[in-house]
Amino acid sequence: MQIIQNYINNQLQNPIDNQWIDNYNPSKGEVYGKIPNSNQKDVEQAVKAAKKAFPIWSNTSIEERSEMLIKIAQLIEQNFDEFVKAESQDNGKPITLAQKVDIPRAISNIKFFAKAITQYNSKSHESVHTNSINYTLRKPIGIVGCISPWNLPLYLFTWKIAPALAAGNCVVAKPSEVTPMTAYLLSKICIEAGLPAGVLNIIHGLGQTTGQAIVEHPQIKAISFTGGTKTGEHIARTAAPMFKKLSLELGGKNPNLIFADCDYEKMLSVTLKSSFANQGQICLCGSRIFVEESIYEKFKTDFIERTKKLKVGNPADENTNLGALVSQQHLDKVYEYIQNAPNQNAKILAGGNKVKVAGFENGYYLEPTVIEVNSNRCALNQEEIFGPVVTIMPFKTEKEALEMANDVRYGLSATVWTSDLNRTMRLSNELEAGIVWVNTWLNRDLRTPFGGMKDSGVGREGGFDALNFFTEPKNVCIQYD
């Protein structure tokens, strides 16, 4: 049994009320650890520690904070294999994905914000005719709450805590209860790095109790949340009357628009990834594929053939393309969408079945699934499934493709495959999405604003946008004689 503890005031400790939750290994469907089922009392203790630490941490020099973050990143690098193994085991994702994406990008997040803070600046406005100068101070907010989901555990956790700490805040953070392991390993790294007590506190537990206690706490002045739209709505309702600063990165139902003039081979291999990477459990996956009519039949044949070749299996095996879904509950939810497909005039073209992996019979495995739909209005195209399930349908004109792409409540990302520059410009302008990728996918530059339109979120993180979120601007106006 692997026991995970809370990290409060630079110490690892059991939950105050000694309540615990089982932690599952999704590849085996077995409990392999215990995590704290923390409550208000644990959150209160973390807030106290953070409050005590804030005057000291917020007054350290930028260089000191930057160096501390670099040290933490380097210690993760030194323990790279342990983090990779833990992420794959805890989440069910292929070890190769944790190796190439999750852990390297978590390290990059920390290093990026360690450097970004040294370049962060504020504005001044001179007004000669009134002999005045205005300048803006950017102050750390105080204690901030960071809540992250299970799909890219350490990657999204560090995406929040790194800019928060770099900007001089103290943090009370909660990883998803389903995937707490790498956040726990990070707590040990912070102790080793000598992060001052109370600067970062990591509390484990359920969203409805631990997460809720963080969102409700009056001394936590800002909440950065990544997760489902429904949870985001609930958090907004709780936090808004308390006038908390909120950043919400929520769900998606992203369109993938494929035109006949694209680089076909590149499109095919990237579309396979944008459909099924991380078992389709990435908020940026292109789950609605629209293909220009003239190449639809060819695409359908080739895409199905490639999909059927993907290997579902033990995440620890380096040849595995798709590991296990994150939990039994999530597997059931995704499978229900597949079972309901025929009721929506939709046809399963590939996959659609649960998979029994030899030696891992109780794991949560599902075939990569391609469903042909004949309307963008069906539930399969309107609701976030968040699993290895994509829909395909043809379109006749660019206008029709654009209308279907935008006809959804979400607006996180969109991908366009074309070699026509004019079309690229038109669609990039018109697509309702926080990110538009043209002839690429999941290509991330950390300096860019990240977030969604419509029901995919509020606000932007990434680059200086994240530092703007985690600081309070204060304008000072001075008049001189």
Which residues are near ligand NDP by CB under 6 A?
A: 147-151, 156, 174, 176-178, 206-208, 211-212, 215, 226-228, 231, 234-235, 249-252, 283, 384, 386, 412, 452, 456-457
* E-strand stretches of 91-240: 124-127, 132-140, 143-147, 170-174, 200-202, 220-226
* Residue whose tokens read 């075939």: 367
Smallest separation, CB 176 to ligand NDP (Å): 4
The answer to whether 36 and 203 have CB atoms below 8 angstroms apart is yes
- 87, 146, 170, 249: the catalytic one is 249
Please state, in angstroms and rounded to a whole number, the distance separating the CA atoms of residues 22 and 31: 6
SS3 398: helix
The CA–CA distances, whole Å, from 224 to 9, 110, 143, 288, 330 equal: 21, 16, 12, 28, 24
Structural contact between residues 209 and 38, judged by C-beta atoms closer than 8 angstroms: yes
Catalytic residue flag (residue 283)? yes
Q: Which amino acid is at 377?
A: R
How far apart are the C-alpha atoms of 358 and 463, rounded to whole Å?
45
Cβ at position 460, least distance to ligand NDP in Å: 11
Check if 87 is active-site. Answer: no
Pairing of strands 200-202, 170-174: parallel
Task: Specify the 3-state DSSP secondary structure of 170.
Answer: strand
The least distance separating ligand NDP from the CB of residue 250, rounded to whole angstroms, comes to: 5
Taking a C-beta distance cutoff of 8 angstroms, is the pair 168, 140 a contact?
Answer: yes
230: CB partners within 8 A, 6+ apart:
none
Instruction: Quote the tokens at residue 137.
Output: 């101070």
- As a whole number of angstroms, the distance between CA 153 and CA 459 comes to 21
- For residue 453, give the DSSP letter: E
**Shortest gap between Cβ of 441 and ligand NDP (angstroms)?**
15
Shortest distance, position 284 Cβ to ligand NDP, whole Å:
7
Q: What are 225's strand-pairing partners?
A: 147, 248
Q: Which is nearer to ligand NDP, 278 or 418 (CB)?
A: 278
Minimal CA–CA distance to 355: which of 344, 346, 347, 367?
367
- Token digits for 114? 């360690």
Nearest residue to 219 via CA among 283, 117, 143, 279: 143
Distance, CA of 243 to CA of 246 (rounded, Å) = 9
Choose, from 283, 285, 367, 378, the residue flagged as catalytic.
Answer: 283
Positive or negative: CA dihedral 97, 102, 103, 104: positive
> In the chain, how long is the greatest CA-to-CA distance?
83
Using alpha carbons, select from 412, 385, 382, 314 the residue that is nearest to residue 95: 314
Q: How far is the CB of 109 from ligand NDP (least distance, A)?
A: 13
Catalytic residues: 249, 283
